[in-house]
Amino acid sequence: MPPLLVDTHSFLKDPLTGFSDNLENLKSRAKKSGFGAIAFLPNSNNWRDKPEKIPFQKNNYSDLNIYFWGSFTLKDKGIYLSPHDELLKSGSIGLSTRNFFDSQIIFKGLSLDTVKTTPIIFSLTNKNTIQKGIVNKDLKSLQSGFYIIDNNNELSEVKNILGIKNLFPSKNIVIKNISDSNSLKEIEKQNIPISTTISWWSLIADTNNLELDDLGWKVDPPLGSQENREFLIKGLEKDLIQAIAVNSIALNDEDTFLPTNDRSVGISSFELVLPLLWEEFINKRAWPIPKLWKYLSFNPSNLLGIKQENLSIGSKRWLMFDPDTKWVNNQINLGYDSPSNFPKKNELIKGQVIQVGLDF
């Protein structure tokens, strides 16, 4: 029985009354999937940039623990700083920001004494982009009929963040959702100590291994080639990446049934994370089990600055995973109506979390 898993970042737009997903429903799904802690990014209908917008959570040793990232700037616009000290005192696990190339506001915030060892997670997604592309350009994606991303600017964003880290070496800066092999090459070349995360789906899917009707095509970060995915896995093995994140974004049936090019980005499936990563790393690549837990539990805890999940006598913080259990991945079997934007829908999945010690 290994310890529970930890998710460094996912999205929850409306924790209390959300239709696509809400805190109560998500906690139940994530617990059944073996998770013991989840940290939600500030992106929401009520942007979490002030202390009164951070939902109060009383963490419980017998339950899944919820944490919230606060926003580095008001509404993440990069114009005015949010009240960092008040956000952190209200329980924020850290601060989140987009990578603004006009970095004056970033420099100002990092120069303050408020942010010391607190993690600051930088997003690589430019929300102002006018590109319609949903997958990175390669031969297979050109044949797929989807809009193609001609210019992936992740490398230039990573270079900018590394420059910021070089100016503020003592700050705990994290790059969110590395997805380009060139970014990892740059991190390795510059040799600037920095933490990075990767979306679990970037380690599983590429433009060569998905059915054309799979909901996993349109995700953030976008999918790349098989060669790119292999390099990401090598980067993980070389510790250029510290944590695997679920990066969940929930959509309901109404959103999911839209054509792929028109649909919002994102997938939401805590249930598939461990089975598919187990297949990829334990079965296919003969990883020892503790190595997978390093990136799914221990390193994520360290990145968030929380106590590592561990086993002890009388502990409830454990999971039981059966790698041979087979089940069909659909909403009927999973027992809920929403979210519905999970990949590999109606496919036979091998491996399942069959029991956890947490209270329900």
Structural contact between residues 223 and 266, judged by C-beta atoms closer than 8 angstroms: no
Structural contact between residues 340 and 349, judged by C-beta atoms closer than 8 angstroms: no
State pLDDT tens for residues 266-310.
999 999 999 999 999 999 999 999 999 999 999 999 999 999 999
The whole-angstrom separation of Cα 301 and Cα 103 is 29
| pLDDT over threshold 90, residue 139 | no
Backbone angles phi, psi at 46, to 5 degrees: -120, 85
Structural contact between residues 45 and 25, judged by C-beta atoms closer than 8 angstroms: no
Domains in the chain: ranges and CATH: 5-356 (3.20.20.140)
Shortest CA distance to 251 belongs to which of 337, 134, 135, 133?
Answer: 337
The reported pLDDT for the residue numbered 128 is: 44
Mean pLDDT of 107-116: 89
Mean pLDDT for the chain overall:
90
Instruction: Please report, for the chain, how many H helices and E strands are present, in that order.
Output: 13, 12
Percentage above 70 pLDDT, the chain: 97
- pTM assigned to the model: 0.94
